[in-house]
Amino acid sequence: MHFYPKFIKMASMSYNAPSQGTLHLVNHLIKTGAIVSQEVASAMQEVDRAYYSKYDPYADKPQTIGYSATISAPHMHAYALVKIIIDLF
């Protein structure tokens, strides 16, 4: 079983900035501690959630993508990327 390092803290899903864009969202995730490395920040800046969600794509909450499915909140994507980095390197 793997555990996240102590330096990773859980971020709150309180960010809601539909018109601010990816850079503002990534900066928020850095401030809340969800993003803890430059590699994760860079990866998350490369993907615009507006391609996958029509409504409120930059809010840090799950978003509907149609067909009764959702895309996870951005802070969960950040945690998953950190986990991948920890396990692979």
Active-site residues, by number, are 72
Contact (CB, 8 A) for 22 and 49: yes
| Three-class secondary structure of residue 69 per DSSP | strand
Beta strands per DSSP E along 1-89: 63-66, 69-71
